[in-house]
Structure 1
Amino acid sequence: MSAVSALPAVAGSLPDLPEPRRRVWLRWLVLAQVLFVLGVAVAGYATEALGRRIWLRTQPIDPRDLLYGDYLNLRYQIGELPGHLWRGEELPRRKQAAYVLLTPRPDSTYEAVGIYPARPAITGQQAVLRGSVQDVWRRGLRLRYGLERYYVPETMSRRLHQRRSLRVQISIAPWGQARISQIDTTAR
């Protein structure tokens, strides 16, 4: 017996399986990947269909990227909030989950009235949007919601980038996922 054949199998290598078992494992792996992709798509459609729709105020910035095409980076009014809205017992930390309690304004958009470390109870027309803390400073914090980038047709991005303010309709699913439904191009 040679010294090389006496060495144990390299950690992380697949064990020697019979050919039929390898095929079964390969089928399961492919099926898992397909189910994951379908799950992501179904979650997006379910958010749109089952979600509560609200309007938010935003400003468009950075309209074009050579690699990704035309899009709008959106800076929401609820993206930077004063620190006195924080309702947690401990100070917020970067990358911490944050739940923003929103109430309707007279112009039919929503504004933040509280930031919580756990999902708060809502009443009436209130809504809760889940985000994450990006920065914390003495008097406020910056939040990210995953709604900051919106891809648009080329002609629309130039027209929207010239605007100072936009209204964006988002759908918030009962389980907390949110997505942009539409951008109101007529409102000021």
Structure 2
Amino acid sequence: MKRWLFPLMVSLQVLYLVGMAGAYYAIDLFGETIDLKTAPVDPRDLFYGDYVVVNYEISTISNENWVGDEPQYNDKVYVKLRKDGEVYEAQAVSHQALPTEKDEVLITGQYKGGNGDELRIRYGIERFYVEENTGEALEGNESERVAEVAVAPWGQKKIVSLRNP
């Protein structure tokens, strides 16, 4: 009886790891790609190398766009984005998933406080790793950049690229 238990446990662990990796790559296949305005800064990580900290315009949202009860620090929130020209802009924020229509996307984030008039949201995609010694080129250009972000139907998201508008 114990002989089949060990291979079963190892198989389940391998299946879990393959599923996690597959879910990341499935974003490209099943996710919708959206463009967001950014303002990058260039720090360096000792272990991961160069990366760009990406601050999105949708990271600061007007308090008027909040739907529902008062948010608490670190609460999970849903942000409804609507396409406005070439980029997506925040339309509403709530504790619950909001219905979307054509040219709208729902993205999850964490409420990080506010100053009374604005809500601060963190999306978990604020770092974009770049090839070594290329981060300074992104920092040197003062113009705003556009981040191409893939958002999967199950809520996972990742930055695909950074480019000039």
Question: TM-score higher than 0.5 here?
Answer: yes
**Identical residues among aligned pairs (%):** 32
Does 1:140 pair with 2:122? Answer: no
Aligned Cα RMSD in Å? 1.6
Highest CA radius of gyration, 1 or 2?
1
Q: How many residue pairs are counted as aligned between the two chains?
A: 164
SS in 2 for 1:78: helix
Displacement of 1:137 after TM fit? Answer: 3.5
Displacement of 1:134 after TM fit? Answer: 1.8
Displacement of 1:117 after TM fit? Answer: 1.2
Does 1:78 pair with 2:58? Answer: yes
CA contact under 8 A between 1:60 and 1:163: conserved in structure 2?
no
Q: C-alpha offsets along residues 3-36 of structure 1, whole Å, 9 cap, x if unaligned?
A: xxxxxxxxxxxxxxxxx61x53332332222122
CA contact under 8 A between 1:92 and 1:136: conserved in structure 2?
no
Match of 1:102 in 2: 81
Q: Distance in 2 between matches of 1:72 and 1:149?
A: 6
Does 1:131 pair with 2:70? Answer: no
TM-score with structure 1 setting the length = 0.80
Match of 1:32 in 2: 12
CA contact under 8 A between 1:94 and 1:133: conserved in structure 2?
yes
SS in 1 for 2:67: coil
CA contact under 8 A between 1:78 and 1:112: conserved in structure 2?
yes
TM-score with structure 2 setting the length = 0.91
Match of 1:55 in 2: 35
| Greater share of strand | 2
Displacement of 1:144 after TM fit? Answer: 1.2
Q: Distance in 2 between matches of 1:145 and 1:138?
A: 20
Displacement of 1:65 after TM fit? Answer: 1.6
CA contact under 8 A between 2:42 and 2:135: conserved in structure 1?
no
Q: Distance in 2 between matches of 1:79 and 1:24?
A: 50
Q: Which amino acid aligns with 1:161?
A: E
Match of 2:131 in 1: 153
Q: C-alpha offsets along residues 162-183 of structure 1, whole Å, 9 cap, x if unaligned?
A: 2332111111111221111222
Q: Which amino acid aligns with 1:111?
A: E
Q: Distance in 1 between matches of 2:122 and 2:4?
A: 42
SS in 1 for 2:50: strand
Q: Distance in 2 between matches of 1:82 and 1:182?
A: 27
Q: C-alpha offsets along residues 104-124 of structure 1, whole Å, 9 cap, x if unaligned?
A: 122x01111111111111112
Q: Which runs of 4+ in 1 moved over 4 A?
A: none
